[in-house]
Structure 1
């Protein structure tokens, strides 16, 4: 998929864009918008689309559009997880130092005399200090300033941050749009991607289906045995192996919790929800502290088995 900065063809989120345009046309544009939806559904792409609307950069040939694409537009600031230079991957959180430039950016006069736009991509990764710093800005926003927050987990944001934003919840993309955006992804993967192009590409990395099959065995009740260790080591070595396993296992546990709740089996619903939460914590700690992934996979298997 194309980088959100370079994407001009927005598919499947026309209703959310129209909501924003209508608010802008009314002269009552809210100062902060919370764009939510599953990972890979196009939240950042929409945020940059809205920024282009405000900054006169909708025409790809315009000077404003070229500056937005290049990351050099003086009235647009993007905040997201920084790369850990030592580990060569994204850090586990957005820190107060990452958010600090927002304050001075918003209180400077717009370089082109119009709006100033801040995109906070992945707002669920704001740590406590960063969240409080952003909250102060949301409480006293300067005029002609817009904050666009994206998140796959709105429940992880401070309630006070959510309450100060207007919500834009994105819906899954229709099959026709999915086939245009990710034409090379197999049909069975598309069926499991929940209308998210990014998720389809993510799932497609399990090329031989070994991780999905392994997760299905665990969810069916198979416990950790010695014959699983070679596969666990292989998954741990793959670039996205651990993330794929956690994603599929978490989805299965969440589905189990919902099914149990619908049929009134509250003990199973509560147990599965707890396992899902613990798996999420294990994943974040493993990524954040660069822990041994093979060991983390073994812990995930034991967690799902309740051992």
Structure 2
């Protein structure tokens, strides 16, 4: 079962769920964000100028902390930066009347988060942004993982962007902005979010996973690539066993080896997700390490990465055999790098 969610929450913000969602985690983390000071200062300067753009797109690799930064930006507009104030507590609890947060929802039946954000989740934004702010100030909408919007949801958002009301702002987070409609990208101000430094990653892990041994910290921090999310994934892979397998798969495996790996990883409840997360990350890392003259290899690996992500998505969506999916993914990765 998914862990139970604590705290009160407004019925106007998110659908009922018993899972601790990425939005829940981001709300709490936004009270004391580690890093991203330059990006936040850019936003604060724009707000102080009186010419704050009505929509911002926070871009950067998955897991680097874009959602906590978005909530920190929301707190600054809603006078909720002091954690002892009622407004700050409302944001942490998900019940602030002038903040609407949208992200991928949890499917209780399948016990996992849905892959898409649908139009019915986006349409309430228009009414929310046009109503009078309860505190007489701003109305803020956060859309986390905006690339997860399907076509109908994206079109619904576009209508909001075309006629934005005064003192209402949209904050979108996105790891792959190329997946958004060009018409959406043209109507937002882009704010690239940089990866954290190794020292900042160390500070995040010390806070969020205080039980981690110094040896594991020393292993994970250099491999995190500035992403707290990736760092937590690497910590879940104790000793780096699956990460090593992912890099081995890219170099190529025999059929017998792939069968043994899939069997071993498949015995764990979390093995499938961890394997695909680390394999995808290893493929991206390998692609970036290919010299520029060797463009054909980079293209092949990039195409293979898309195939691997599709295998994962379809396996989850249609409840296909997970061991067969891992074998197919390893084969695709190894063939592309050959």
* TM-score (norm: length of structure 2): 0.85
2:307 alignment partner in structure 1: 278
1:1-307, aligned counterparts within 5 Å?
Answer: 3-7=25-29, 8-183=31-206, 184=212, 185-225=216-256, 227-260=257-290, 262=292, 264-306=293-335
Give the 3 Å change call, closer, same or farther, for CA 237–154 of structure 1 in structure 2.
farther
> What are structure 1's unaligned runs of at least 5 residues?
none
Give, in whole Å, the separation in 2 of the partners of 1:101 and 1:257. 40
2:250/2:330 contact within 8 Å kept: no
Bigger relative contact order, structure 1 or 2 (CA pairs below 8 A, ≥6 apart): 1
Give, in whole Å, the separation in 2 of the partners of 1:65 and 1:93. 29
Give, in whole Å, the separation in 2 of the partners of 1:23 and 1:87. 43
Give, in whole Å, the separation in 2 of the partners of 1:266 and 1:52. 44
CA drift of 1:218 comes to: 1.5
Question: Which has the larger displacement, 37-46 or 87-96?
Answer: 37-46
Give, in whole Å, the separation in 2 of the partners of 1:216 and 1:40. 20
Deviations 1:235-256 (A, max 9, x none): 2343442233223322333344
Q: Alignment partner of 1:306: what SS?
A: helix
Give, in whole Å, the separation in 1 of the partners of 2:296 and 2:43. 43
Give, in whole Å, the separation in 1 of the partners of 2:71 and 2:284. 31
